[in-house]
Amino acid sequence: PATESKRLRIAMQKSGRLSVDSQALFTSCGLKINLREQRLIAHVENMDIDILRVRDDDIPGLVMDGVCDLGIVGENVLEEESLQRQLDNDSFDYTVLKRLDFGGCRLSIAVPQEDEYRGPASLDGKTIATTYPRLLGRYLKQQGVNARVVNLKGSVEVAPRAGLADAICDLVSTGATLEANGLKEVDVIYRSKAVLIQRKELTDSKQLKLIDKLMPRINGVMQANE
Ligand code: ATP
Ligand code: ZN
């Protein structure tokens, strides 16, 4: 499309663990968004910004492909997409503008409570279910562990009970879900927070000015939250 409209496009999660905090951050930065509007694109009334509400999994790709200018996404999803794109020889460039103070979680290995676990070597020859095959694969390689990785998009925590896997690698914040499924967390392989990312090769001076205006506000909001 012709680039007559130079409105800054920001991608955020439509609904999920990052959406309330992302929206609150925008609001604190002075963006007037119609909160009731449940559409894909929300126009910011008082600035040249459009907010795109999408699945969190789509955000890294939208920014890396230059379709969106900024995005808020978990580092776990961002890093998984980067690793996948490196393997596929696709572009995976972006800049992290800010590590945010929400969306904290860890990607951990968990095994059935009754299982003995003596470090990553215990996973040798085992099957591990995860939504993050590339992050897990990198970890296993670093540890010199030979395990089979099963990629599940959901219900990872029931995989051991269902006989689909010996262990899982999943996101944890409190550990309550693991416990409810008879699992115990045995190793943390990645610590994540939400980050604000920018596409590479953003050169429009009006858009860059707008980002320069937003960043001190974001820093201010985060300092106030401390
Ligand atoms: P979508 O419908 O957008 O694909 P989703 O179900 O994949 O949503 P959520 O569960 O909303 O994703 O999680 C979004 C992000 O929130 C995660 O990728 C992670 O960065 C962060 N997060 C923080 N705490 C947790 C947690 N306890 N479990 C899962 N994700 C968490
Ligand atoms: Zn998702």
The CATH class, in words, for 8-103+193-225 is alpha beta
pLDDT the model gives residue 37: 61
Encode pLDDT of 169-186 as tens digits. 999 988 899 999 999 999
Q: Which residues line ligand 1 (CB under 6 A)?
A: 13, 16-18, 55-57, 74, 76-77, 103, 105, 171, 173, 192
- Place 34 in a pLDDT band, splitting at 50, 70 and 90: confident
Gap from CA of 118 to ligand 2 centroid (Å) = 32
- Nearest-CA residue for ligand 1 atom 12 is 16
**Can you name the residues that pair with 198 across neighbouring β-strands?**
70, 95
69 pLDDT higher than 90: yes
The share of the chain scoring above pLDDT 70, in percent, equals 96
For residue 80, give the ligand nearest its CA: 1
> Ligand 1, from 12, 15, 17, 156: best to mutate by most atoms within 8 Å of Cβ?
17
217 pLDDT higher than 60: yes
Encode pLDDT of 102-139 as tens digits. 999 999 999 999 999 999 999 999 999 999 999 999 99
**104 CA closest ligand 1 atom index:** 23
Q: Mean pLDDT, to the nearest integer, of 177-202?
A: 97
6 pLDDT higher than 60: yes
Nearest CA to 145 out of 185, 184, 117 is that of 117
- Place 5 in a pLDDT band, splitting at 50, 70 and 90: low
Question: Which CATH number, 3.40.190.10, 1.10.10.10, 3.40.50.720, 3.40.50.620, labels domain 105-192?
Answer: 3.40.190.10
The share of the chain scoring above pLDDT 90, in percent, equals 92
Specify whether the CB–CB gap between 190 and 171 falls below 8 A: no
| Domain boundaries defined on the chain | 8-103+193-225, 105-192
- Nearest-CA residue for ligand 1 atom 29 is 171
Specify whether the CB–CB gap between 160 and 139 falls below 8 A: no
8-103+193-225 and 105-192: identical CATH topology: yes
29 pLDDT higher than 60: yes
Q: Where are the beta strands (DSSP E) in the chain?
A: 8-13, 41-43, 49-54, 70-74, 95-99, 105-112, 127-130, 148-151, 167-172, 183-192, 194-198
For residue 212, give both structure tokens: 């320069």
pLDDT the model gives residue 35: 63
Gap from CA of 73 to ligand 2 centroid (Å) = 10
> Ligand 1, from 53, 78, 171, 195: best to mutate by most atoms within 8 Å of Cβ?
171
